[in-house]
Every structure is written in structure tokens, then in C-alpha cells.
Chain A
Amino acid sequence: MVGDNGAGKSTLLRVVAGLSQPSRGSVRLLGGRNARQVAHLIGYMGHAPLLYDELDGMENLRYFAGLYGIADDAVCREAMHRIGLDSTLERRVGQYSQGMRQRLSLARAGLHDPQLMLLDEPFSNVDTHSASYMAGVLGRLRDRGKTIFVVTHQAGLVEHVADEFVHMAEGRIVSRESAKRVSASVAADAGGAG
């Protein structure tokens, strides 16, 4: 989902996640239910990191895993490795770099293997290396059959992995276009090389 500041992208995401109540209308997800009923199938990554600064990476993940009924540490370790972080790192999250924090936040959102992921500005203030790493992770998740909503100002980062671009302005969806044309033209330019 792309659009200018104030277009309502974050608000839409929050409403879908069940964090905000719409003033009119309702949201149905994953078989006609509302967000509270399918909370175990949704992963949300907010604009803010949604992590505890005073705890280290594994402690954070362990706690959030517990909220989804996951008691196995291996799941948390695996999640950290998937996004390229060291699970033995005892540094508090408050001292992480922004790139590390965003990656950990993404790990937290995907900890319980949700069907639907809602990510708000996952690449904000993140270094290019972390950003392309995360985009790769998202692509792999999509390949495994997950549905992913990404709100971003940096459409270029997800160009190669996105299936569809939705444009929002002033609280409304104004257009939707398939991304295949974008990646197809990129592939054509590259002449099929590599």
C-alpha cells in the first residue's frame, strides 16, 4: 500500500488488525470473521518497534511467543536466525541499531506463523542491507502462501517481490495495479540475464 502521508494507510492497517474501531462499516478476514476471532492467524508490525527496550532479543520473542501459546524456545531461535540476528546476543533491544530493531519486530510479527501479515513501514530508517534482507524474507513468506500487506513509502524496495500495488489518497483507495507489469518490464530490460 502506497500513498502520501496522511492518506490513511496506517489507519487502514490498524483497523484490519482490530486495533482501531471503524466509525462505520466492518472488517471481515480469513473466512468472514473479525480480527479478534482470528488473532492467532494475524501478525502485525507497527510503525513503532513494538518491543521492550529493557529486554534482550530472545527475552522479547519468548514473551510474545507465550502470548500465542508457544512455549518452545527453538521457535524463537529459529525466528531470529531467519531474519539474520544472533539468538545468543544479550544486548538489550534499546541498544540495537534501527535495522536490527526492525528485523526483530518483523520476527516477532511472524513468530506464530500467521496466515496474514500486516506490516506498517517495515523499512523506515533501515539501512539498505537490512532492507533488502527483509524484502527477501517477505518474498519467501509470500512463496509459502502467506498474505502480506505492506505499507511503505519506499515502493522500490518491494518492487521485485510485490504482487499488487494499492494506492491510497485522503482516506480512500484510488487505484490498484498488478506488479507483474513492473517486474516483467524490469526482467525484459535485464534481457533475461542472470
Chain B
Amino acid sequence: MRPLSIAFIILTLALLGYSTYQALLVAPTEQTMGDVQRIFYYHAPTAWVAGLCFFVNFLASIAYLWKRSPDMDALAVASAEVGVVFCTIVLITGPIWARPVWGIWWTWDARLTSTLVLWLIYVSYLILRRYATGGQTQVLAAAVAIFGFVDVPIVYMSIRWFRTQHPSPVIAGGENSGLDPAMWHAFLWNLVAFTCVGIVFVAARYRLQKMENLLEDTHARMALEGSTQ
């Protein structure tokens, strides 16, 4: 591994350590929810990183369709997988937070439902990648990725409107709840730390995919050349 990568990983670990310290020990305890609220410092940044990953996947998919560069496809796979993992964490930490505070595991409010649909869309993308046959999986997957990402704002708008028509309990203080200034500090540190974690994972998965592609290519070439001996 290159020294720059190692340095970045060490930096990330340091950031994560500091931000965890901030979140668990330094940030003030929330008034009504108590210590459980601290999960917010993981829940929210994780959601942010998931969204970022899916955006990268969108750009990589467009780039792939344009240039047919296998590296772009590798980036698309990497960002989608990491995005789905982070999205899963959001969907798990949400209920963990909701249950002790609001007494319910799940509610079909706008944010949670949109996140669930987002998760469904990208899981279907990953399943397509696994089950497509032939050498053009990448093209098909890239098309689905573009559809999926374009759909995201429409999903959100539609569910929000649905919820204004048919209100239901909202978790985490609704759309416009503010954050106490004392908590911003911890929140921002965690945001930065988690973004770095996301970058590390995507980079690692990207390198892995590139190596797999290289291996496949090499095997194919060997088979072709070896057969004429």
C-alpha cells in the first residue's frame, strides 16, 4: 500500500477516535431523549455518507456509459456496495433510536420511507450485477443506476406529499427541528470522520475490483494465447 493511503487511514482512525470521544463524552446530554440521542451522531453522518456514495455511483455510471472505462465501472460497484452498507446502518440505527424514545420501532414517515426505498433501489442494482449474464453486465447496471438516482428526488417528493395528506408519527423531531449549537461541534466532527471512513472503504473496494478485473483479463488473454501453442 502506498504511504499516502496508509497516512490517510491513520488520519481517519484518529478522526474517528476524536469524533467518538466528542459524541459520547463531550456533547451535552439531550433534554428529553437522554443519552440515547447520541446515536444521532452516527445515524445522521451515516445517512450523509450513503447519499454521497450513491451520488458517486451515479457519476461513475454516466462516465462508464460515455467512455466504457472499466475503472469507472469498478468505482460504480465500489460506491454502490459501500452505499448500501451505510444505508443499511441508517435503517438499523433509526429503529434502535426510535424504540426507547418514541416507543415504536418503525414509522412510515417521509425520511425513513425514502431511505427504505433508496435502499431497495440500490439493492436491486446489486442483485442485477450478480445475475446478469454475459460481458455487458456493466452497461445494464449503469443504466439502472442512472434511473435509480434520478428517481431519488421524485421518491422523496412523493412520499412527503403522501405524508402531508396522511400524517403519521414523525421520528426525530420532524423536518425542521434545529440542532443545539453545543451539539454542532460533535456532529461536524463525526460528519468529517464518517466521510473519511466512507472514502477509505470505497477506495479499498475500488482497488479490489480493479485487481479482480485485471485477473480476469489476464486469464482471458492467457487462454487465448496459450491455446495457439
Contacts and interface: CB of A to CB of B under 8 A. Distances in A.
B227 interface: yes
Interface of B: 135, 220, 224, 227-228
A172 B229 CA distance: 12
Interface in A149-189: 170-172
6 contacts: A23-B135, A23-B220, A170-B227, A171-B224, A171-B227, A172-B228
Nearest to B224: A171
Contacts of A171: 224, 227
A170 B135 CA distance: 20
- Majority-rule SS of A interface residues: loop
A170 B224 CA distance: 8
Interface of A: 23, 170-172
Contacts of A172: 228
A171 B227 CA distance: 9
Contacts of B135: 23
Contacts of B220: 23
A23 B227 CA distance: 18
Q: Which 7 A-B pairs have the closest CB atoms?
A: A170-B227, A171-B224, A170-B228, A172-B228, A171-B227, A23-B220, A23-B135
B74 to A, nearest CB: 17
Nearest to A24: B221
Contacts of B228: 170, 172
A113 to B, nearest CB: 32
A91 to B, nearest CB: 35
Nearest to A172: B228
Contacts of A170: 227-228
A127 to B, nearest CB: 35
Contacts of A23: 135, 220
A43 to B, nearest CB: 25
